[in-house]
Structure formats: C-alpha cells, structure tokens
Structure 1
C-alpha cells in the first residue's frame, strides 16, 4: 500500500533555490518537505565556486546562517579587469554606494542551509528513488518516491510543488506551452584548485590573445583559477605544466608574479545561456537552474536561484496569509525580468572577455573596445559594478 503524507509545499531539489525557499517558508510557519535524489554527502561534497551578491549575503545573515560565512569567506570590495598586461581596478564599493561581493563556495552555502534547516526541524529527504512527478500539475499535486531502493512507494501531497531540481531535472517538462531560448558558447572553462596562498587580493578577469583567464580565491591556502579552453577538449589534454604555462601567459603583468602550487583538482565545463519563458503551470513553479542557466563569467547562477526562491516565497506567503494569488500569478513575469537582465550581463561579460574562434577580426576588436570603454568610462564601470554586486530585488 502506498503511504500518503501531506504538506503545504513540496520542494523537489536541495540546491540553492530549494533550500532557501524551505528556510523562508519555515520562518513563516509554512510547512514544506524537501526531496532530492542525491545523498546529503553528494550535495555537500560537490565542490562549486560561489560569488554571493551583496543582498544574498545579507539574506544568509537575516536567516541566521551567516556566522561561518562571515568567519571564512573573502569579502571583495573590487575586481580587476585585465587586457594583455594592462590591469584596471574597479572599486565596487565606491561605484555602488558601499556594496561588495562575498566569495563563498556554493557547496559551503548548501552545508550551512542544510545544517540550519535540520536544526530548525525542517523536513528533508535525501537519496530518494523512483521520483515520479506526473501529478505535479493536478488540482491536488502529488510526488511519489521511495526512500530506499527496496522501500515502499510513498506519496507526498501538497498545495504547491516547487521544481528546484536543476537543469537535468524533470519538473520543467511539465510546463506546457513554454518557449526555450539557448546559446551554446564555442569554448569552455578548465578550472583548477591549487594548494597555494592568494596571488592577488581580488578577482582578476583577464582577456588575452590566447584566451580568457580568471584568478579567484578559495581560502588563505587554496586558489581557484580558470582558463578558456575548447568546448570539446578533454582535461587529459592539459597536464599541469601546460596549465601553468597558459596561466603565466594570460595573467602576466609588470611587477607581479603568479603564486603556484600543487594542483589537486581539475575539470572542464561547457558554457551556455538558457531561459524558459514560462516558470509555472497550475500549482507547479520552477526555480533556479530548472528555469535558466547563465555562463559563470557574471557570477549570477546561485544568486538568480535565490532570487527565484524569494519571489516564490512572497507569493506563497501572500496566499497563505490572505488567500490572494496575485504574486503567484505574476511569478514568471517577476522572475524573468531579473533573469533576462542577468543573462544580458553574463553574456556581455562572456563575449567581452573571451576569444571566440567563430568570430571575425572586426567582432574581436569590438569586444576589445568594450573592455577599453569599461576601464576608461566611469559610467560604464558603474553599470558593470551595479550588475556585478547585484541589482535590487523587484518589489
């Protein structure tokens, strides 16, 4: 016999969108259950970089989850843009009236969210099997699953379902009449983790004739660095010495030296932009990577997921408080305004800083002109800084 459990909001996916939503709901006394096919260990140990916009870091603190972040994160008040060997510092705080970004890996954010929700008595089920979403758009939406491979089939029924199951999840497929927009970039990023102290006090985004490079920081003893590579290349084509040769060349600058060390992790990811133009169907609402993907150049992915969670929470809060659905009905519209602005910014940063092998010499020179304009115009620098630290949430 199928076991039936009832809650108010079923959240499918324990990523940033799902876990932030669960915290916001729990704080207002709205019941939810989070389901994920991954184990807790898989979620917490999948290493992913993270740059938190100013308001996202503030939300962590507001939820009582900011203590470890404030102890261990790196707070950057500026970034450096580099073309060839010429560097330009953009003072984010000065350009945006006191805002900054917080470099704190996404998996660390998830650890804090999971631990905090567990301590608060929130319900999370990890490592579930045979998840079936076929009834998520019904009048009484249901998700069926098993807690273990040989366990009984269980049904979780709610008033609403939040599909926060990522780009490969199934929830988006139940949004009817949607149009999907996508751009696949003809290059990727080779990322490494290195045992070495920081080479610079802030992130360096470099455009070089050999391709893009990014210098970031993980901790006082670990650096994270990236180089542009071919979209179809395999990590085996990049032994350690070749990686260091490329980084030395692309990040070279007068009176500066890259700090090197033991590379203990490397991997290649492709870059793409993706948006679906509908994020809701009846009682189903999708959020985060289930609805949109941005290239990492603009550092927007995690922050967009959290914004979706905030907008969905506001709609659910209004519904459970006074029975009104206005915010829920406008959920897609509200989210997509922010999504398309972030997509534009991420696309502009990506095209400005990368060498696209499919473009001609004229197009390449236009991107160099964009970079020179940003580094010589206060108005252009301010626009970049405002987007980088995070635009205000819509009301």
Structure 2
C-alpha cells in the first residue's frame, strides 16, 4: 500500500467500544430489489456481499418501520417480526465479510407512492404536498397525522430497532434525511402544525428527538452487547420555507447532546457550501463538524471516487468517509487501495458492467434510465 493512504486504514472505535477496521463506510443506497413480500432477495444479498469486503461498516438501504411508510418499490421490510429471518440473512451476509452491519430505519411520509401504502393513505406532519420528485400529476396531498398516530410511529421505530438487534445487526441508522418523514417534521415546509409537534423550531425538533430517545431506550432494554445508533440528515432544503443551514446547526447541536454514536450528513458533494441561513462560506461538512465538536463523530459523503478524494476528505478532520456510487462502480475499492493499485480504481460505469459488478436488475435499470446520476452513463 502507498503509505500516504495509511490514514484511511487506521481503526476507528466508537464511544460504545465497537471497533471498525478502517475509516471507509458503505453509504446507504436504495436498490429497489427486494422480493414482493418485503423479504431480502438473493440478488440483494449478492450485491451487498460483493461490496462489503474491506469496508469498515456497511449501512444498508432503508427499511420501512410501518406499512404506511414504504417509500419505494422493491424496498425490504422491517415492520413485523415475520421479517426477522430476512433481516438476519442480510446482517449475517454482511458480517461474514468482516464489516459491521448497520440497518437504516425509515418512514417515507409524504414521499410514499400511494400505490405502495395501505388504502393509498399517504401521511405526513401536515397536509402539504412535496414540491419535488413529483410525478406528472404532482405529489399527493398527505393526511396530517394525529397525535396518537405520531406516538405509534415513534414506537414503530423502536420496534424495528428491536428486530435489528434480534437479527444480529451491529446498529441502526435513523433516516432523518432526503425529505422523508423525520425530516418532514423538522422542516417548516412540510410541518405547519401548531401543537407540541410543530410551530417553533424547538417544537419541530420534537419528533426527531423522540425517535432518537425511543431507539436508545429499546437498545438499552434489548441489546446485550454494544449497539451503534447513528442519525442521518440533509443540511438544507431548496423550498421556501425550508430547512436552512442555521436550522441544521441547531439540529446538530440537539442531536450531539443525545450521545449518539455518529451523525451522517447526506450530501451529493462532500465540499458543497451553504445555500442560506449562515454567512460562512466554508463547506457545510466543516460547519457541521465544528458544531458537533467532540460530542459525536461525523460521517462525510458525496462524490468521493478516488483514493485521493477520500484522503482529502479525511484531512478535514471528519473521522469516517462513506462511499456510495463509488462502491457501486468499484466494489474492490478498498482492496485496490490496500494493494497499491489505487490507479486501477474505476470511476465511471460501463454499460456492459452489470453482471461483473453484481448490480441487481431493478437498480441497474434505475441507473441507466437516469442520465447524470452515475459518471459514465450518459
């Protein structure tokens, strides 16, 4: 190995004592490839095994915690105990490669397609449709959740955490990013409530923090060994009103006080800068790390393809670097850097590579039908 990349391979130990072999994490990426009954498919397992070897930790695609939270076709389920054997199969397959396995837990809220949820009942913090990601007919107007339903969904996040523990996962990541339900409660765009769950910024924080508290309570109750709890968030929204960088720094502050094992920033570009809310023009990731301080480690992500990209990101002081598209394009990324073959890392996708890269059919179709998503596919 080229000695300059040694920092990427230093072990990392979470505050709970769980140790990662290196600083590289597989980012959570939807693959649309589960079985119709919500169980993990053979193709999915093969896809994860192909990419897990060498990385310190794998964060899975998101699993829905309740039936009305299903956000994608081909999304695997975590909403009932019947799914524990399926979840266990995935956890076991990842862990057998030597990586830690973290299950991302999620509710799609107003971004759930009506045809995927019972009775087409799409729910959110308030009856405000999404402005983006819309079909030609527009996004459905969601139904505002009642206080009792909100409490129930919080418990559902806890129950899916218990299933993750029973399935042998090493941790869970709470999906508070990408415009889904937890973010919808924090956002002034989607949350227009005037009760204990909305209004002021502090009240818009109530649901995300309640989910964190419930997940941590379940871990304390059921986990016999150390268990990772992370939280993923998106720093800003383009909508007006919407989450600003200033709002996010308050979210980071509140989350850092919760003794989480990590915060994971959802970014397309690691080096992106704030859109609004602060005058500081430094990259968002630096502002977030500064706000988190020594209280909680931060995982950075976004358009990191080469070993030099990862090293430059690590040099900001961010302790863990997640690769998403990079690991789909180059499943042997870690092995190649270890072997001094970093110049051989593929950074573009070839249209003939599906079989060699073990990419499931539904994910492959999504990639080739979305120009610009992956480098090389035009």
- Which TM bucket (shorter chain)? under 0.3
Q: Which has the larger radius of gyration?
A: 1
Higher relative contact order (CA 8 A, sep 6+): 1
> TM-score, normalised to structure 1's length?
0.27
